Structure 1
């Protein structure tokens, strides 16, 4: 069974993305990255990406992680802030720690691309 299925499929991913972006947009250390972003579009892209990354149906057609974050000058602190909001979102949704660990593994697997290293 995929992480996507274990999390609860589309409704769970949709809820997680909505909560996650509320947390991100309230964080002054990273919210400025989204000042000029169409957040409805961003939510849709994030839902499709996480669905694919967690082993669900692949309808993600956006840029790869390196291209999507190119030129943003993201640092380890930015990455850690976003990852922390993802973890706290999953905890808020009562996701078991084992699945949170799996999700963190997916996030860490794209870290070098996100940071353009």
Structure 2
């Protein structure tokens, strides 16, 4: 039997989508970062982010979006803003009772993209 992936432990794409939906609720309530999403189709953004997280956690989903640097080019995202977004994701994962080790694994994966997102 193949080893269970982080994607599997998170509950698969439907569970990841629920976390992402909750996450964007927090983001949209945060005045520090919500301006980045003013003109964004949030249903499309949720689907896109679900695809990204599903892909980087070992799911059978191919991420088809731009690479992180290109996607965030010219946005001027600060380290403080990146940390706020990461905090919201961690909170959403906690809301869905994701165990600490798995939350840490997701957050480590997301943190690996910080250099491509911050100040791009």
Q: What is the TM-score of this pair, normalised by structure 1?
A: 0.96
Q: For the aligned residues, what is the CA RMSD?
A: 1.0
Residues paired across the two proteins, number:
117
Give, in angstroms, the shift of residue 116 of structure 1.
4.4
Question: After TM superposition, which residue ranges in structure 1, 4 or more long, deviate above 4 angstroms?
Answer: none
Separation (CA, whole Å) in 1 of partners of 2:113 and 2:66? 13
Give, in angstroms, the shift of residue 58 of structure 1.
2.4
Q: Which runs of 5+ in 1 are unaligned?
A: none
1:92 matches 2:111: no
Residue 31 of structure 1: which of 30, 34, 38 is its match? 34
2:116 maps to 113
2:83 maps to 80
- Alignment partner of 2:65: what SS? coil
Q: What is the TM-score of this pair, normalised by structure 2?
A: 0.94
Q: Which runs of 5+ in 2 are unaligned?
A: none
